[in-house]
Amino acid sequence: EIALLREWEIYSVKLTEIDTSTAPDVKWPEQPK
């Protein structure tokens, strides 16, 4: 459970790094499962 939480934290950081100027062709990070 802690490992999954860590994956979601990393995912959250990756979301903040998305370059939205490329919309609508934004490359989204893969969500943790």
Q: What's residue 17's pLDDT?
A: 94
Chain length of the chain: 33
Could you read off the pLDDT tens digit of each residue along the chain, which spans 33 residues? 999 999 999 999 999 999 989 889 999 999 998
The token duo for 25 is 């062709």
Q: What's residue 21's pLDDT?
A: 92
Q: What's residue 33's pLDDT?
A: 87
Q: What's residue 9's pLDDT?
A: 97
CB 29 within 8 A of CB 11: yes
Q: Give the structural domain span for 18.
A: 1-33
Please tell me the total count of domains within the chain: 1
